[in-house]
């Protein structure tokens, strides 16, 4: 069995306890305005082009492409998506990594070999492996197989999920997951549909069921100005979360612009979103704390 991933992050310290290896799986059912991993939304491979790295006098990618899908002018290269087969020869020929193929197929055995390299760090820090994305439950069969292998070696497992999937998928992996990082955007359904492309009802229902299962859950709330940073949304969210058992902590995640360049390199448009002021974040933190939650700003 093979899955498709777009990154493996070593020595991660914000994706669960201890030092971790974070595996990013491709594919996500949501398209959030503020997504900082847009390369993880599609389940398919994609071409990533950074014009700032492209050399003016270089045409190696054009010569390497077997499908004649690349042309070049004074603004840089253009890739004809109708001709491009994502074979990767262009990226291999590029001397500056201006071109990259995002997404690679990997077997369970190959991924376990990567994870096992970091086991000494897990033991010393009480860390482990985190599966993120994208949405890892999009590839639930592959995820289940990798989790099973991790459990057989007593590797601590975390799954970072947006919650938009069938609960049967949660049930498939639940006994192999030590901690869920559960993303919760907002309580207003209409605004959720507008800003993510999907209703939040399935997400809320799954969180209720997951809480009843007895699993440990950390709630992660991205803070997006004029979307979910109101006191009203914080109070509604806190009231809802009080009914969910198993919640260890709430992480308030301030929006940052680190993903903006990725949108440009993928030839996609992005929203002009600004970070929430720190003073407002502190006020939101106090609202959740008044409801009895342990709250941390950041991952």
Fold observed for domain 46-102: Alpha-Beta Plaits (3.30.70)
In whole angstroms, how far apart are CA 218 and each of 21, 46, 109, 116, 160? 18, 31, 29, 25, 9
Q: Which residue from 4, 105, 6, 10 is spatially nearest to 48, judged by alpha carbons?
A: 6
**What is the pTM for the complete model shown?**
0.93
Every domain of the chain and the residues it spans? 2-43+104-297, 46-102
Q: Dump pLDDT digits (tens) for 88-102.
A: 999 999 999 999 999
Residues 6+ apart with CB under 8 A from 260: 270
pLDDT of residue 42: 95
CB 204 within 8 A of CB 240: yes
Common-topology check for domains 2-43+104-297 and 46-102: no
pLDDT of residue 273: 85
**Digits of tens for pLDDT over the chain (299 positions)?**
899 999 999 999 999 999 999 999 999 999 999 999 999 999 999 999 998 899 999 999 999 999 999 999 988 899 998 999 999 999 999 999 999 999 999 999 999 999 999 999 999 999 999 999 999 999 999 999 999 999 999 999 999 999 999 999 999 999 999 999 999 999 999 999 999 999 999 999 999 999 999 999 999 999 999 999 999 999 999 999 999 998 989 999 999 877 777 888 887 888 888 889 999 999 999 999 999 999 999 98
Q: Dump pLDDT digits (tens) for 118-128.
A: 999 999 999 99
pLDDT of residue 186: 97
Residues 6+ apart with CB under 8 A from 222: 32, 34, 183, 185, 228, 253, 255
CA atoms of 26 and 37, how far apart (whole Å): 10
Q: Dump pLDDT digits (tens) for 61-87.
A: 999 999 999 999 988 899 998 999 999
Fold observed for domain 2-43+104-297: TIM Barrel (3.20.20)
DSSP structural state of residue 258? T
């Amino acid at each position: 069995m093979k899955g498709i991933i777009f990154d493996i992050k070593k020595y991660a310290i914000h994706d669960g306890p201890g030092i971790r290896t974070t595996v990013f799986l491709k594919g996500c059912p949501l398209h959030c305005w503020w997504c900082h991993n847009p390369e993880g939304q599609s389940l398919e491979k994609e071409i990533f082009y950074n014009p700032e790295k492209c050399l003016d006098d270089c045409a190696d990618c054009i010569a390497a492409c077997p499908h004649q899908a690349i042309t070049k002018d004074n603004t840089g290269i253009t890739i004809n998506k109708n001709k491009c087969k994502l074979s990767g020869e262009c990226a291999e020929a590029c001397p500056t990594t201006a071109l990259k193929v995002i997404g690679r197929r990997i077997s369970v055995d190959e991924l376990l070999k990567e994870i096992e390299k970091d086991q000494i760090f897990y033991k010393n820090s009480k860390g482990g492996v985190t599966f993120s994305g994208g949405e890892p439950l999009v590839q639930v069969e592959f995820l289940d197989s990798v989790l099973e292998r991790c459990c057989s070696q007593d590797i601590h497992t975390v799954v970072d999920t947006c919650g938009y999937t069938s609960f049967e998928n949660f049930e498939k992996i639940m006994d192999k997951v030590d901690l869920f990082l559960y993303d919760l955007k907002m309580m207003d359904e209409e605004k959720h549909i507008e800003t993510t492309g999907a209703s939040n009802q399935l997400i809320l229902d799954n969180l209720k069921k997951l809480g009843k299962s007895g699993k440990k859950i950390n709630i992660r709330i991205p803070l997006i100005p004029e979307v979910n940073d109101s006191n009203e949304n914080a109070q509604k969210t806190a009231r809802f979360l009080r009914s969910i058992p198993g919640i260890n902590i709430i992480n308030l995640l301030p929006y940052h612009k680190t993903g903006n360049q990725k949108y440009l390199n993928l030839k996609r448009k992005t929203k002009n979103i600004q970070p929430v002021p720190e003073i407002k974040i502190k006020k939101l933190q106090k609202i959740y704390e008044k409801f009895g939650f342990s709250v941390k700003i950041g991952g």
